[in-house]
Amino acid sequence: MLAIIGGTLLLGSDLMEGMEKRVVQTPYGDVTCYIDDADDFVLLMRHGPSHKIPPHRINHLANIDALSMLDVDGVVSLNSTGSLNPDIRPGEFLVTDDFVCFWDLPTLLEDAV
């Protein structure tokens, strides 16, 4: 099953129409997903079903655990953000090859050896 993790980019989209809304309970918190059994995919809106979770409050651990519990075997994540680099103009498409995180990196493997 394929999962699509969407954000602001999909806000107002009709992609969820006809999909089953399901709340998945994880040890990290509840996650709302939209499931399309016919097409074998899951849509997860990372800012929550009403888009009220700000970026720094997104529960990444719960989101990834919920997708695992739904037997998802592939994920496509759609993201949008701004840039402080004047050479990168609005509307340009970039592929990230590096990531800097100034807070704790979420992981499901905290105690793995």
Q: Is the pLDDT of residue 113 over 90?
A: no
The chain-wide mean pLDDT, for the chain, equals 84
Residue 56 CB neighbour total at 10 angstroms: 6
- The closest of 73, 80, 71, 15 to 43, measured between CA atoms, is 15
Distance from chain centroid for Cα 82: 18
pLDDT in tens, 42-82: 999 988 888 888 888 889 899 999 999 999 999 988 777 77
* Confidence at residue 23, expressed as pLDDT on a 0 to 100 scale: 96
* Confidence at residue 34, expressed as pLDDT on a 0 to 100 scale: 92
* Confidence at residue 79, expressed as pLDDT on a 0 to 100 scale: 76
Q: Please, what are the domains in the chain?
A: 1-113 (3.40.50.1580)
